[in-house]
Amino acid sequence: MDKQHVKGAMDKAKGAMKDAAGKLTGDAKLQAEGKMDKAKGDARSAAGDIKDAARKSTR
């Protein structure tokens, strides 16, 4: 697991909390921010997967 995977997991967790808080409070903006953070986390995880695949292919 590299930095991209860790950052991706943190972004996903932060996004899930914002999304849930937005749903609870009825704050659509906070909920949207949470969804964006989750998407950013997915993108970082995908970047980490690509880096892992590149490292494995060069070995």
Confidence of residue 56 (pLDDT cuts 50, 70, 90): confident
The one-letter amino acid code at 10 reads M
In angstroms, the CA 3 to CA 34 distance is 21
* 13 to 7, 8, 34, 50: CA distances (angstroms): 10, 9, 9, 21
59 has a pLDDT exceeding 80: no
Share of the chain above pLDDT 70, in %: 100
CB atoms within 10 A of CB 27: 14
Confidence of residue 54 (pLDDT cuts 50, 70, 90): confident
CB 37 within 8 A of CB 14: yes
Average pLDDT over residues 14-24: 97
Q: What's the whole-model pTM score? A: 0.83
